[in-house]
A and B are shown apart, each in its own frame.
Chain A
Amino acid sequence: MTRLNEANVIIAKEIIGRYPKARSATIPLLHLSQQQNGYVTNEAMVQIAEMVGATSAEVLGTATFYEMFKFEPVGKYLVNICGTLSCALMGSETLLHHAEGKLGVKAGGTTEDGLFTLERAECQAACTEAPCLQVNYRYRYKVTTAELDQLLDDLAAGRLDGEVPPHGTVARVRQHIPADKAVGPVPPDAVVAPPAWITEGAK
Chain B
Amino acid sequence: MSRYAWAPGYTDDGDRPKIVTSRFQYEDGYTLDRYLATGGYVGLRAALGRTPSEVHDEVKSATVLGRGGAGFPAGTKWGLTPQGVWPRYLVVNGDESEPGTYKDRLLMERDPHQLIEGCLIASYAAGLSQVFLYIRGEMALAQERVAAALNEAYAAGYIGKNILGTNFSIDIVLHWGAGAYVVGEETALIESLEGNRGMPRLKPPFFPAAIGLYGKPTIVNNVETLSNLPWLLTNGAAAYTAIGTETSPGTRIIAVSGHVKRPGVYEIINGSTTFRDVIYGEEFCQGIRDGHELKAFIPGGGSAPWFLPDQLDLPFEAKMVGPAGSMLGSGAIMVMDETTDIPAMALTLVRFYAHESCGKCVPCREGGTWLMRIMERVVAGRGTQRDLDQMLEIGQSITPGQYPHAASERLGLAAAPFPFRMTTICFVGPSAYNAVDSSLTLFPDEFQAKLMKRTSIPVTAVGADS
Contacts and interface: CB of A to CB of B under 8 A. Distances in A.
B131 to A, nearest CB: 10
Interface string B124-149: 10010110000011111101110110
Contact of A127 (B192, B193, B332): B332
B423 interface: no
A123 B97 contact: yes
B4 to A, nearest CB: 13
Contact of B216 (A68, A134, A188, A201): A188
A72 B358 CA distance: 22
B265 interface: yes
B127 to A, nearest CB: 4
B302 A175 contact: no
B52 interface: yes
Most B C-beta atoms less than 10 A away, residue of A23, A27, A85, A139: A85
Given A65-B180, A65-B358, A197-B124, A18 B97 contact: no
Contacts of A67: 137, 178-180
Contacts of A182: 160-161, 171
Contacts, number: 252
A134 B138 CA distance: 9
A21 B87 CA distance: 14
Contacts of A141: 8-9
Contacts of B157: 181
B177 interface: yes
Interface residues of A, number: 73
B440 interface: no
B206 interface: no
A31 B143 CA distance: 13
A122 interface: yes
Contacts of A137: 137-140
Given A65-B197, A89-B257, A122-B355, 13 more contacts: A62-B196, A69-B178, A123-B98, A123-B352, A125-B104, A127-B100, A129-B102, A171-B147, A183-B161, A195-B127, A197-B167, A200-B167, A203-B167
25 contacts: A18-B173, A20-B130, A21-B194, A21-B195, A24-B194, A31-B178, A66-B180, A67-B178, A85-B302, A88-B344, A90-B258, A122-B352, A126-B102, A126-B105, A128-B8, A128-B255, A129-B8, A130-B263, A138-B141, A141-B8, A173-B151, A175-B147, A195-B127, A201-B51, A202-B166
Interface of A: 18-21, 23-28, 30-31, 52, 54, 61-62, 65-69, 80, 83-86, 88-90, 122-130, 134, 136-139, 141, 170-178, 180-186, 188, 191-198, 200-203
